[in-house]
Amino acid sequence: MKKAMSINEWNEFDRQCEERNVPFDSNTPIKSGETLEPSIRGCKKIEEDEDLKTLLRMVYRGEC
Amino acid sequence: MLSISDRWKECELVYSEPPQDYIKAEAKKIFEIVESFCNVSGLDVERIEYNYPTIKDIIVRLDMRLMYFHTYHNKMNINEYKLVSGLIIFWILKLRPFWVKIKTDDTKETINMATNINEQIALHIAVGLLKEYNQNFFENGKNLVGQYCKEMLYSFRFRDLSKESLYLMFDPFYFLHLFEKSVDENGVNVI
């Protein structure tokens, strides 16, 4: 597991964004121009993940 | 001196609905997720009915809100978590476009899904987003993930959730994604 950024690291992250003219703020989309596409891609991955699919099936059906 | 009644006299800000093609394409995305929900839950997709004008209303209201951010927040493009949670999920929970007619021989599991159909589709949208951008979330153990999903489902059904509270609910996942993508194993920024 990668560690989360400390305040200093955040400041460095901010500085690098500014230096590279990357327009970052807390609303910057991960991939611009998408609405439900990330959820759709994720849903397809859920369907391929048998363990998660089983777990969610139980949640949806009220079985757990 | 300028009076409050004249304050916006010269301001022209007119919203127009997006083209029908755009609305249809967005609606198709919602139906794709409904199909996925059925594939996962085992509910027959043919049993889910919907009100198309309400689906359209959700898409238009989302679009209006994007105009709001563009106009009043310096051309802001909101991130996917805000868009999905605070706009799409919010309006599905509020306008409730989906329903399932109960049959006399339905099992209690089907009745449970029918009763909570809008909340469950909203949850599937949220979980899909997390699966795409927060894979680590699902590595916390089945019990915790299951418990979290049930908690979210309960909140969607019974708690008063505003757009803003939904933004706050999902913002941590956005930042976790950024942390994951922006720091290498030595804690150094890689963006």
> Is pTM, for the whole model, over 0.95?
no
Q: Is the dihedral of CA A44, B107, B122, B61 positive or negative?
A: positive
Radius of gyration over every alpha carbon of chain A, rounded to an integer in angstroms: 18
Please list the alpha-helical segments (H only) found in B3-115: 20-41, 52-72, 80-81, 90-95, 108-115
Mean pLDDT for back-to-back runs of 10 residues, chain B (191 residues): 84 92 97 98 97 97 93 88 94 98 96 97 97 92 92 97 95 87 62 51
Mean pLDDT confidence for A23-33: 75
Nearest Cα residue in chain B from A34: B80
In this structure, are residues B182 and B189 in contact, taking their beta carbons and an 8 Å threshold? yes
Judged by CB atoms closer than 8 Å, whether chains meet at A61 and B42 is answered as yes
Query: Model confidence over A32-60: pLDDT tens digits?
Result: 789 999 999 999 999 999 999 999 999 99
pLDDT at B107: 96
Distances (CA, A) of A11 to B78, B142, B181: 22, 36, 16
In a mutational test of the B interface, the residue from A39, A55, A61 whose CB has the highest number of chain B CBs within 10 Å is A39
ipTM for the complex shown: 0.90
pLDDT at A1: 45
Nearest Cα residue in chain A from B184: A2
Burial of B141 (0-12, 13-18, 19+ CB in 10 A): exposed
Residues near B148 by Cβ (< 8 Å), separated by ≥ 6? Answer: none
B29 CB neighbours in chain A (<8 A) are 35-37, 40
Nearest Cα residue in chain A from B139: A52
Judged by CB atoms closer than 8 Å, whether chains meet at A62 and B180 is answered as no
Nearest to A43 by CA among B44, B125, B147: B125
pLDDT at B8: 84
Side chain identity at residue A15, one-letter code? R
Residues 2-61 of chain A whose Cβ lies under 8 A from any Cβ of chain B: 2-6, 9, 12-13, 16-17, 22, 25-32, 34-47, 49, 51-53, 55-61
State the nearest Cα–Cα gap between A11 and chain B, in angstroms. 10
Side chain identity at residue B153, one-letter code? L
State the nearest Cα–Cα gap between B26 and chain A, in angstroms. 8
